Amino acid sequence: MADSGRLILRGGVVLTMNGRDEVLSPGTVVIEDGRIVSCRADAPPAAAGDTVVDCRDHLLMPGLINTHTHTGFALFRGLGEQRSGAEWAASAYAPPYMDAAVPDDYYWGTLLGGLELLTNGVTCTADRFSHMAVIAEAFDRLGMRAVLCHTLRDITMPLEWDRAMALIDRWGADPESRIHCGIGPHAPDTCSDDLLRRVRRAAQETGARIYIHCSQAPAELAALRTRGHAGGVRCLAATGVLGPDCIAAHCIYIDEEEIRLLAGSGTWVSHCPVSAARIEGRLAPIPALLRAGARVVLGNDWAVTNNGLDLFDEMKCAGVLNKVASGDPAVLPSSALLRMVTIDAARSLGIEQQAGSLEPGKRADVIALDMRSPHLMPWHDIPATLVYSAKGLDVRHVWVDGRWLIRDRRPLDLEVDEVYANVDRIWTRLRGTPAGDRRERDR
Ligand SMILES: [Zn+2]
């Protein structure tokens, strides 16, 4: 986009996801200095220096927001097949060959997974792991929005605490920054009560939000019982971690009291149904959480057990799996699923002033889907078509901060061949090492 002029996305169907669920058909999105200036039914005349993109036959909508990922694990896609939840827990959630991976490998893994996210229309992700200093550089290079946390666990203290604080020093916690940080305690069973209380204090001091795994496996609950906690959510309540600035991923093994604790505290639940199905064979009680007033958003988790990073897929699976699990085909209507990857996802990450809907003043994170495909037509119900018919592959163009990152499904500023060559190089090396699982958690 020319710095001097406006970017005008003209003539598409504009799904705003604003408070009135406004749809403009046709509509135009006008962007200036990386922000949306207006969404309007008429097309303004182009002035000298403006860039006009013909978006007829395209659906323009806010870029999707992923609330829980480990993007760099795209490197290990397909290496977690046919393991039970107990086997995953016993191997500390480490896929084969992870022992031999070095931080630079995750840089390239993040570029690979990040390209997958972007080409599938995901413009922002909440990501967490170790080695976040190099992973942050990869997200910066991708041009996408990201909230990043360096994982904290008892066994890596105090080293990892210093690294987590260094990450916040480098990138800040300001939601206006395209890349910024949260605080990422790993899980209640791998973090002592003291560490969890320290995380809450640091969140208050820095303004960073708290991202944690919670209640994802029976082994976690067994470990917590030895510390006197009758559940992961209860542990987070007792240590002051719960709150509207806390995003708890999974929450699979929770009871009625913990549902009330999550709802009452305004804590966000990041529901990752595909990963939950493929690791635990069980879902979080999402309909019960929603009935209690809890706030639920969606995430892909990682490509090891997903095995992709596509939020269109995740929406469909969330809808289908929860209808089956609850025996009620009316739960999770399409419009609610769509909010879980747009405006509600933005609220969960604290970036609702910047992203999640197409509204004047917000950053211009916009995706354009090709509407003229046999598996999408006719468009009787936009949310239903997006949730149950559309794929990430339908996304043709992607802008973040008004910068055109993906055009006709190809990245404009990144050489995909360079990424693929490095993935090949990494696997030539890793395949020469033992495949064995490690016994120490590093996720
Ligand atoms: Zn996770």
Output the CA angle 2-5-11, nearest 5 degrees: 95
pLDDT at 443 over 60: no
Q: Model confidence at 437, in pLDDT bands (50, 70, 90)?
A: low
My answer on whether omega of the bond before 26 falls inside 30° of 0, hence cis, is yes
Q: Model confidence at 439, in pLDDT bands (50, 70, 90)?
A: very low
Q: Model confidence at 433, in pLDDT bands (50, 70, 90)?
A: confident
> Could you give the C-alpha distances from 1 to 55, 217, 392, in angstroms and in order?
15, 47, 24
pLDDT at 4 over 70: no
DSSP string, 56-117: TTEEEEEPEEEEEE-GGGGGGTT-STT--HHHHHHTTTPPTTGGG--HHHHHHHHHHHHHHH
pLDDT at 436 over 80: no
- What is the distance in A from the centroid of ligand 1 to the CA of 211? 10
What average pLDDT is seen over the chain?
95
- What is the distance in A from the centroid of ligand 1 to the CA of 68? 6
- Dihedral class, residue 196 (left if φ above 0, else alpha if ψ from -120 to 50, else beta): alpha
From CA 97, how far away is CA 89, in angstroms rounded?
A: 17
Q: Identify whether the C-beta of residue 392 lies closer than 8 Å to the C-beta of residue 315.
A: no
pLDDT tens sequence across 105-150:
999 999 999 999 999 999 999 999 999 999 999 999 999 999 999 9
pLDDT tens sequence across 188-232:
999 999 999 999 999 999 999 999 999 999 999 999 999 999 999
| pLDDT for 318 | 98
- What is the distance in A from the centroid of ligand 1 to the CA of 91? 15
Q: Identify whether the C-beta of residue 183 lies closer than 8 Å to the C-beta of residue 148.
A: no
Looking at residue 16, what DSSP letter applies? -
| pLDDT for 1 | 46
Looking at residue 437, what DSSP letter applies? P
Question: 3-class DSSP state for residue 35?
Answer: strand
DSSP string, 206-229: H-PPEEEEES--HHHHHHHHTTT-
- What is the distance in A from the centroid of ligand 1 to the CA of 89? 13
From CA 289, how far away is CA 285, in angstroms rounded?
A: 6
From CA 3, how far away is CA 12, in angstroms rounded?
A: 23
| pLDDT for 435 | 79
| pLDDT for 37 | 97
pLDDT at 441 over 90: no
**What would the mean pLDDT of 281-300 be, rounded to a whole number?**
98
> What percentage of the chain reaches a pLDDT higher than 70?
98
**What would the mean pLDDT of 277-305 be, rounded to a whole number?**
97
> What percentage of the chain reaches a pLDDT higher than 90?
93
pLDDT tens sequence across 82-99:
899 999 988 888 999 998
List all residues 6 or more positions away from 203 whose beta carbon is below 8 Å from its beta carbon. Answer: 183, 209, 210, 245
- Residues with a beta carbon under 5 angstroms from ion ligand 1: 301
- What is the distance in A from the centroid of ligand 1 to the CA of 350? 19
| pLDDT for 267 | 98
- What is the distance in A from the centroid of ligand 1 to the CA of 265? 22
Question: 3-class DSSP state for residue 149?
Answer: strand
- What is the distance in A from the centroid of ligand 1 to the CA of 302? 7
| pLDDT for 51 | 96
Phi first, then psi: give them for residue 404, nearest 5 degrees.
-75, 105
> Could you give the C-alpha distances from 222 to 34, 230, 256, 275, in angstroms and in order?
49, 9, 18, 21
- What is the distance in A from the centroid of ligand 1 to the CA of 250? 8
